[in-house]
Structure 1
Amino acid sequence: MYNAAGQLNRDQLVQHFVPLVKRIACHLMARLPASVQVDDLIQNGMLGLLDAISRFEATMGAQFEAYAAQRVRGAMLDGLRENDWLPRSLRSDCRRIEVAIARLEQEHGRAPTEKELADSLGMALADYQKMLQDARGHQLVYLEDMVAERGEDFLERHLVDADADPSKLLEEETFRRLLVQAIDGLPERERLLMALYYEQDLNMREIGEVMGVTESRVCQLHSQVVLRLRARLFGADQEKKAKRETHG
């Protein structure tokens, strides 16, 4: 991969790591709404790959593939952040689910079942599961979660350092601890899904094979996991937002 001058060969690297870009794009697609085009992810990922090639220095002591994967994934996520991929109506529906989850957990002292959530929302189970399917791409943290309309925000309530950069939220020890606690409280099946997806790096199809369900069912369960976690981390804030959207 190096030329006679000992420099990285740009053209060879691009050709060699195109499959890496496509693999990362397909992995992200499983978490995104159907409106997102895989070609857009790949295009952004290729820009990230080119950026990695121009920035990488062998003296950094890191393997290029690991460095490139980080830059590629970052470029794809940056591209997604420039667009709101989740329609406002669906975002509102997701908030309703989060509020229902938080309320039922408080009432029953456990994670509510899908049937209980569907009944709470006044809809058929099949309609609720379709809503989960449509919610692919709903993120664990949005910028709006970090800043309240009035009064102290999430960071002020949960983090000691008032000068902390909101973009560093996931790096903060307090938030990580809260997230770990929320994951520990998930139903066993959903904890397994999280481990297979985020620790074992399996895609939705592979997870379906392990769990004995369809790929679309895995997508539904993943959406529900994200909503459960958001309900535990941002429940009170989301209930206020849901009420504002309902009455205003």
Structure 2
Amino acid sequence: MLDEYMKSLSKIQKLSRKEEAALWQAYKMEGKVSARQKLIEQYQLLVVREAVKYPIQESLVLDLIQEGTVGLMEAAEKYDPAQGVAFSLYAIHRIRGRMNDFLRINQKEIPIDDQEEGGWFQMLESAEEDAFSVADRRMLSHTVSHAMDRLPEREKNVLCHVYLNEKTASETADELSISTAYVHRLEKQGIRRLRGMLSRIMHERK
């Protein structure tokens, strides 16, 4: 069931940058539910890819996908395209938060350090057309890139590894010669600092 679902997602037609921008405008400015649905569909694979990183039973992965989709919808509701932050970067934290909350409630939370990338995850990697790869290429708008240039070097390196290069915490730790716990700490610090700088950068450009 999960395999078929992931294969169907990999076949979703990818939106161009202009098409996605038009959908955000239709949703945010005109309140079109159909535009919102297309955006959720476009980024559904982002949810699935996050869920399948957890080495858990397939039935629980499906539950995680449901929870992550709720996070995705919450992110779409609160997202402001005018801020210049790529939606994938904005949404991933709500998606992960929803999943981790679900795992905590069920007393089955799995530390990020122990994640394994295999099985379903590798199937997604080999898909001919991967919508999330497109999201990755769009991840940093000029505004976010400008803000990242102001980050401390280690925070910037961690964010680039995790969000641009899709490295796991363990891989990032190995490449940067630091602990995985430090990777998570730098990631949180970098995101927090990035969010603070974005509002100032946008103000400077007005």
Structure 1 length normalisation: TM-score?
Answer: 0.33
Structure 2 length normalisation: TM-score?
Answer: 0.38
Which has the larger Rg? 1
